[in-house]
């Protein structure tokens, strides 16, 4: 049974990991300064966006999910003819319409796939599952990596579906926005009052950087530091402690909305790399994708790992 994995472009993973594991990217549309781009995680395009400064807060940037019709076309052309079973994992449905559109597309595909599959010379039935991961960015990347691990264990269909759909409850995500004012302005345009004007003012004038931590997209501020570097070091030290305590899947996912040179200068990164190597954990380190950077703001950092119940300071 050939099992395929699709993720949307809010999922942050290293480009080489995506290529090596044949992960299919379901694109989102990025609209920046009125110009439309398709975010399909092409590393050259992503690097160009950072180099040109297109995601700086002065640029009006939004994202838009592919329509159900466009997704259906992709499923029929790229997925039905290549796999016997497929998972489509999406960003938390409260952040995008991609889950709803992909579900509608899947239902239409399941009613139409047989002649297309037969024409491609593939025998047997096809099955598919659209999964709301409840995750964002690095958390979604961690979910994808664990799903591939489960696929490689050759589980039965039912066991595979169950483990994929329940694992997200074990994922903890840390987000560090570089600029609270950027987050507030974007939330205001979307009528989401998640960060007040006072918080944004304090963050800008006093250089306060919050750490947002919790399960998936449902995080809360667990610490406020006096600098971005201090917040990053605190989060990476948290990851080191969790790696040393033992993880539920051997991955740590870390995405950063900055250049590769800036990523290498992050305080605490060397310690995290050393801990991961010592405990045989793969560090999925990558430049934050265009879609993720639009949500969190350029320069932001997102980390995810899966572990037993714990507190941020444990």
Query: pTM (2 decimals)?
Result: 0.91
For the CA atoms of 270, 50, 98, 169, what is the dihedral angle to 10 degrees?
Answer: 10
Smallest CA-to-CA distance from 26 within 71, 86, 92 is with 71
Domain regions of the chain by residue span: 3-169, 170-306
Q: Which pLDDT does position 27 carry in this prediction?
A: 85
Q: Which pLDDT does position 205 carry in this prediction?
A: 59
Q: Which pLDDT does position 270 carry in this prediction?
A: 98
Q: Which pLDDT does position 154 carry in this prediction?
A: 87
Smallest CA-to-CA distance from 133 within 173, 80, 105, 104 is with 173
Residue 117, both tokens: 């599959």
Where the chain has pLDDT below 70, the residues are 57-59, 186-206
Q: Which residue has the tokens 């999910």?
A: 65
Burial of 278 (0-12, 13-18, 19+ CB in 10 A): exposed
Q: Which pLDDT does position 197 carry in this prediction?
A: 53
Helix or strand (DSSP H, E) at 301: strand 301-306
Q: What is the DSSP letter of 21?
A: T
| Contact (CB, 8 A) for 178 and 55 | no
Q: Which pLDDT does position 115 carry in this prediction?
A: 93
- How many CA atoms within 13 Å lie on the side-chain side of 163? 18
For domain 3-169, the CATH architecture is: 3-Layer(aba) Sandwich (3.40)
Give 170-306's CATH code, choosing from 3.90.400.10, 3.30.1180.10, 3.40.1110.10, 3.40.50.1000: 3.30.1180.10
pLDDT in tens, 130-186: 999 999 999 999 999 999 999 999 888 889 989 998 999 999 999 998 887 777 776
How many other C-beta atoms lie within 10 A of the C-beta of residue 171?
Answer: 25
């Amino acid at each position: 049974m050939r099992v395929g994995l699709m993720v949307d472009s809010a999922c942050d993973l290293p480009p080489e990991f995506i290529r090596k594991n044949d992960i299919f990217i379901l694109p989102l549309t990025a609209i920046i300064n009125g110009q439309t781009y398709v975010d399909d995680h092409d590393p050259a395009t992503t690097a160009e966006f950072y180099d040109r400064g297109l995601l700086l807060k002065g640029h009006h940037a939004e994202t838009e999910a592919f329509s159900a019709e466009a997704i259906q076309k992709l499923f029929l052309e790229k997925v039905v003819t290549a796999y016997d079973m497929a998972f489509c994992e999406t960003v938390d449905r409260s952040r995008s319409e991609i889950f709803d559109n992909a579900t509608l597309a899947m239902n239409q595909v399941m009613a139409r796939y047989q002649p297309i599959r037969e024409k491609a010379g593939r025998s047997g039935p096809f099955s598919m599952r659209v999964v709301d991961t409840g995750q964002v960015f690095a958390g979604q990347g961690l979910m994808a990596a664990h799903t591939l691990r489960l696929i490689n264990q050759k589980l039965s269909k039912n066991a595979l579906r169950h483990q994929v759909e329940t694992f997200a409850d074990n994922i903890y995500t840390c987000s560090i926005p570089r600029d609270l004012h950027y987050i507030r302005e974007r939330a205001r345009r979307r009528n989401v009052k998640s960060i007040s004007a006072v918080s944004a003012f304090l963050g800008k004038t006093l250089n306060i950087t919050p750490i947002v931590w919790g399960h998936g997209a449902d995080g809360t501020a667990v610490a406020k530091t006096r600098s971005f570097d201090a917040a990053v070091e605190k989060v990476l030290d948290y990851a080191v402690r969790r790696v040393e305590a033992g993880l539920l899947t051997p991955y740590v996912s870390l995405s950063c909305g900055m250049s590769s040179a800036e990523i290498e200068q992050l305080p605490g990164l060397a310690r995290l790399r050393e801990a991961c190597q010592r405990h045989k954990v793969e560090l999925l380190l990558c430049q934050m994708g265009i879609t993720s950077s639009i949500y969190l703001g350029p320069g932001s950092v997102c980390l995810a790992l899966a572990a037993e119940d714990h507190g941020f300071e444990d």
